[in-house]
Amino acid sequence: MQSGQIRLNKVTREWVIYAPSRRKRPQDFQQSHRPKQSLITRDTKCPFCPGNEHISEFIVLEIPNQNHDGWQTRILSNKFPALTPNENTRRWIDGIYLAMPGYGQHEVIVESPNHNDDIATMPIEAVEMVIETYHKRYIELMAWHENMMGIIFRNHGAKAGASLIHPHSQFIVTGIVPQHIRWQEQEAQQYYDHWGRCVYCDILEFEMQNRRRVVGENLSFLAYIPFAAEVPFEIWIMPKDHQADFGSISDRQKSDFAAILKEVLGKLYEKLNDPDYNYVINTAARYKAEEPQVHWYCQIQPKLITEAGFEMGSGININPSIPEADADFLNE
């Protein structure tokens, strides 16, 4: 791509500006400030490390390791929760405004007993246990009538919002569905009503044939850099079978999801020297789980650039990196 280009995100119908004049080489995004791995396997001050239960919050769930001589994954109630289950979902009027209590649940998924572990470098069996823990708790919480939406996400590194090094993810369940989610559902619904097909399935079919942006694949999943990626090295991992709800995945899919997640995070770890990133599992809101137009996926966004005034004012991202070049770099 020699000149500038603006691409339309087929899912959100948002535009993304690509500015080759601001472009860096893919290797220029490598993080040079961070050692690849801490040598500390236990930290006496870390609330997630074994033996420090006195400084951690309430243990919600614990899954044992293969030897059954300790835990492999653990879910804790968040010490500083964004939402709490002790509230309700009743709305009230405050003058001309609408409000409701801060109902929901906010939990921490500790991915390993080892302080210096990481999904990119863990044994595959350990990553499979992380996905199993995600799925088990998702099924449990989304069975509650009050819980309308569940978001599983991971903040890796300070730029991504992580306050603790110990490998962990978070799960927030809300009693509302935000407009951002409803808007994406509506866009998918309009596409389905017009074409009679799922927009995500159409994207999958094209990317599997085109292959210019594919960075990983197995029997159940495809990983690719979106045509209209918002940031450098953004990656989507999507089930090949149409599936609206993360809770619907089979045991085989859980293993395949663990494998491809480890693979693509491993590529970022090796090629970009373990960059800060966020990932989120985007799944159907409650009562949309069987819809033919909704398709769950995992979205990974490395924190390699900083949004500025134009992005804030317009809602349009400027990406200095080209998706096809990013894919080539990760596949080298």
| Distance from C-alpha of 185 to C-alpha of 202, rounded to nearest angstrom | 16
Q: How far apart are CA 108 and CA 154, in angstroms?
A: 10
Strand partners, 278: 155, 301
Q: List residues forming the annotated binding site for Zn(2+).
A: 46, 49, 115, 166
Options 156, 168, 180, 242, the catalytic residue: 168
The Cα-based distances of 278 to 19, 153, 304 in angstroms read: 23, 7, 11
**Sheet with strand 15-18: strands edge to edge:** 5-8, 15-18, 317-319
Binding residues: 46, 49, 115, 166
The dihedral region occupied by 325, where left means phi > 0, alpha psi between -120 and 50, and beta the remainder, is alpha
Sign of the dihedral through C-alpha 30, 31, 34, 38: negative
Measured between alpha carbons, how far is residue 258 from residues 4, 119, 128, 134 in Å?
A: 37, 9, 5, 11
Question: In the chain, what are the helix, strand and coil shares in percent, each to the nearest 5?
Answer: 30, 25, 45
Q: Among positive and negative, which fits the CA dihedral 314, 153, 55, 42?
A: negative
- Catalytic annotation on 68? no
Residue 151, phi then psi, degrees to nearest 5: -120, 120
Query: What region does 43 belong to: left with phi over 0, alpha with psi -120 to 50, or beta?
Result: beta
Active site residues per annotation: 168
